[in-house]
């Protein structure tokens, strides 16, 4: 995962708004990392807590509602073309949304793999706009401050050490980031293979 600190430091609240809204609309952007880095920058004093929370919540709700209306307008077929997800997974999430309605939308906010699908599937399964909006808003009201608070807590507990390491790493930072990405991809592939083996 790239270091988002310089990006958010330079563009501030606009970067938070854009990345979070795109992540909630279904694009593969690191929304969780943006919120955590934003909390870390709040600890550093580069950003203010209240505007960060308000901007992040607003963009999260707007992004999810855009996805909801796209799903309501174009249906489930759009989801399979818009996002590369296996049909059986879409069916499982669709069943989950149909069965639990508002609760499913609320719970999906806290699960990265479900968050971007809950909106369009709620739209194409007929969940009313008001019920979706309320559930989505409540989820964002809890999830966004928690993710930002986690970044602030990291800074409060480990911030000085992190900055020292960042200074020592210097040019080698990119090598470390590449290694982290490779390790994450390898772990994901291993988990995927194991899950498919269990399914068989």
Q: What average pLDDT does range 188-196 have in this prediction?
A: 67
**In the chain, % of residues over pLDDT 70:** 67
pLDDT at 66 over 70: yes
Mean pLDDT of 51-68: 90
CA distance 114 to 108: 5
Q: Is the CB of residue 57 less than 8 Å from the CB of residue 18?
A: no
Helix, strand, coil % in the chain, rounded to nearest 5: 85, 0, 15
DSSP state letters, 123-171: HHTT--HHHHHHHHHHHHHHHHHHHHHHHHHHHHHHHHHHHHHHHHHGG
Kindly report which listed range (108-112, 126-130, 172-176) carries the lowest average pLDDT score: 172-176
- The answer to whether 28 and 65 have CB atoms below 8 angstroms apart is no
Kindly state the tokens that stand for 190: 């291993």
Q: How many CB atoms lie within 10 A of CB 30?
A: 15
- More confident call, 117 vs 20: 20
Rounded Cα distance, 135 and 131, in Å: 6
pTM (two decimals): 0.70
pLDDT given for residue 145 in this prediction: 92
Judge whether residue 1 has pLDDT over 50.
no
Query: How many angstroms separate the Cα of 39 from the Cα of each of 9, 49, 53, 76, 146?
Result: 12, 8, 9, 35, 9
Question: In the structure, what pLDDT confidence band is assigned to residue 171 with cuts at 50, 70 and 90?
Answer: very low
* Closest listed residue to residue 94, CA positions, set 127, 65, 122, 133: 122
For residues 60 and 180, the model is more confident at 60
pLDDT in tens, 78-102: 666 666 667 677 778 788 888 888 9
């Amino acid at each position: 995962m790239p270091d988002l600190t310089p990006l958010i430091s330079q563009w501030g609240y606009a970067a938070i708004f854009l990345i979070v809204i795109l992540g909630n609309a279904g694009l593969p952007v690191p929304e969780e990392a943006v919120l955590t880095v934003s909390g870390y920058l709040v600890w550093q004093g580069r950003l203010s807590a209240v505007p960060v929370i308000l901007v992040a919540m607003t963009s999260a709700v707007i992004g999810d509602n855009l996805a909801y209306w796209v799903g309501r307008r174009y249906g489930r077929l759009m989801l399979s073309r818009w996002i590369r997800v296996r049909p059986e997974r879409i069916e499982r999430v669709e069943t989950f949304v149909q069965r639990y309605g508002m609760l499913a939308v609320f719970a999906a906010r806290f699960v990265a793999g479900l968050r971007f699908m809950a909106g369009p599937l709620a739209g194409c399964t007929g969940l009313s706009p008001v019920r979706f909006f309320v559930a989505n808003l409540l989820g964002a009201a809890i999830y966004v401050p928690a993710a930002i608070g986690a970044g602030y807590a990291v800074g409060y507990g480990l911030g000085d050490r992190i900055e020292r390491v960042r200074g020592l790493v210097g040019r080698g930072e990119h090598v470390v980031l590449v290694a982290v990405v490779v390790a994450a991809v390898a772990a994901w592939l291993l988990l995927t293979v194991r899950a498919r083996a269990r399914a068989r």
